[in-house]
Amino acid sequence: MKVLPDSAADLIARLLKRRGITRVFALCGGHIMPIWMRLDAAGIRIVDVRDERAAVHMAQAHAELTGELGVALVTAGPGMTNAVTGIANAHTSRAPVLVLSGGNPRPQENRGGLQDMDHTQLVRSITRYARTVREPSLVLQELDEAISRAFGEGGEPGPSYIDFPTDTLRGIVPKALQLDEHLDPKPRTVTLPNPAEVARAVELLWSARRVLVISGRGARGAGAELIGLLDRLGAAYLDTGESRGLVPDDHPSVVAAMRGAVMGDADVVLTVGRRLDFQLGYGSPAVFKDAKFIRIADAPSEMRDNRRGVVEIMASPAETLRAMVAQAGNRQSRVDRQWAAKLRSGHEDRARKLQQSMAAAPNGADGRLHPNKVLSALQQAIGNDSIVITDGGDFLAFARVGLNAPMMLDPGPFGCIGIGVPYGIAASLAFPGKTVVVATGDGAFGFNAIEIDTAVRHKAPVLIVVANNGAWQIEVHDQTVTHGKVVGTRLQFADHAGMARAFGMHAERVETEEQLGPAIERALANRPALLDMVVTPEAISSDGKTGLAWVPDLQPLAAWDDAERKWRASQGNA
């Protein structure tokens, strides 16, 4: 059945085109075919994937790397349920993603039709907006609202979901209701800070001796302003993955390798668009001691979670940082420059030693490569103008410190391993002129390994590096140490390169140091490509050593859990 111009499906495509959408990540199905064909007619590229979860992951990566809306299109029933993990990850990461789906024609609803279910009930708790639109004339205004909600207009940013009965998609929208006010792109809301609160923040920051600044998702787009504040204030700076690359590693404020020391030593902590979640010990006094907090955010969850600030500014981070520097004027910061310089020196020393130890990392007793040897060679080959996606459990702990790039993504606060290949495909399509590398463990790779077919078909110039240690290694280590027995956590040293070649991808298996450099060079020249790096399972990661796998009661890491217990006992409320 043909889909006509001025149909609801046609208007969906026209709105997305007007909003600057150039590609939609999707997997086909009859319930969404009207949208599918009108997207194609509008000149919007459809990146057809092999699993709906991957479609939403790709939409999220596109959104996080470009700042634009990411759009996924999935069919009804199992197509939509397959997408739920991707939607949940975008929800936790607060990424602006629009997920579109379809459903049974209205006369067949609730009668046992094919793939008939109430999708909106399923996703309402993990979306900012979830609607079924049954009336064609309401499609534009509902879509406009869903996009606004995805960008956080009136609340938290995150995924929006809309589906449409198939007969609604074929229905004609009267021209009188095809209003430009719904079709046209909307400017992003900029919220200016309260000058009185800016003055309070500046007074506290410029009077403090040991200031730590931590950035997160909400600081994206405020890189220049953040650097300007750091330059004027002389504070120490951390990011924990959400805004990796926002401040260059060669900036004197960056002290990532001294994370534990600076978190326990700061007297004032400024968070910029960053939740105080498990990665930051929930902001607990057991970790941050007596530090006072200043919170800046454009979303409530990044301002009031776990610890309240003595100053809280709900406003656009870029505008707030700019206003703070202006408010400070020529005032001299009282930050202890020797303290900051010592932290920076410690960071540089540890980073230098890490680079040296990585390059010299010996093979395991089994003769297999150390993960750090692989990462050292990879970093040297990709240079400093790349996009890096790190994925996995055990291997992620090596990769997040062993690799560095101006733009980086990882499984995020949801710990959603398996994002590597989809994120890498989306990144390489959005930035075809950059080197895009996925560094993933073999376990994580398996979740979306089939998407190497998508990379080949769409000529996505991505390099996928699989660290193949034949195990869920963090769990193997925990089971060995804690339980004295390994149960259900070993994998094969599977031939991932052979799998990739079966789909037409350039792929090699690397097992020796002599093969390492030449294989990386060939892979970079023949993307999309996959390197199956056989690494030793004897290498124990930092996360393996810190107790992450056994999930302590009070804090995510064993050392923090011990500190939390001691702090609570000292307060008389253990």
Helix (H), strand (E) at residue 320: helix 317-328
Specify whether the backbone of 67 is left (phi greater than 0), alpha (psi in -120 to 50) or beta: left
Tell me how far apart the terminal alpha carbons of the chain are, to the nearest angstrom: 67
| Burial of 227 per CB tally in 10 Å (0-12, 13-18, 19+) | middle
Query: For residues 21 and 1, is the Cβ–Cβ distance under 8 A?
Result: no
Instruction: Using the Cα atoms of residue 89, residue 437, residue 508 and residue 50 in order, give the sign of their dihedral.
Output: positive
Q: Phi/psi class of residue 265: alpha, beta or left (left: φ > 0; alpha: ψ in -120 to 50)?
A: alpha
Rounded to whole angstroms, the Cα distance separating 327 from 323 reads: 6
Phi, psi dihedrals of residue 12, rounded to the nearest 5°: -60, -45
* Amino acid found at 570: S
Q: Which residues contact 407 (CB under 8 A, 6 or more apart)?
A: 65, 244, 245, 386, 387, 388, 427
Q: Which of 475, 508, 511, 564 is catalytic?
A: 475
Written as six digits, the tokens of 314 are 């709900």
Q: Is 203 a catalytic residue?
A: no
CA angle 64, 68, 70 (to 5 degrees): 75
For 515, counting Cβ atoms within 10 Å of its Cβ (0-12 exposed, 13-18 middle, 19+ buried), the class is middle
State both tokens at 471.
Answer: 């195990």
Q: Could you tell me which of 217, 211, 249, 244 has the C-alpha nearest to residue 230?
A: 211
Q: How far apart are CA 447 and CA 54, in angstroms?
A: 9
Query: Hey, which residues are catalytic here?
Result: 475
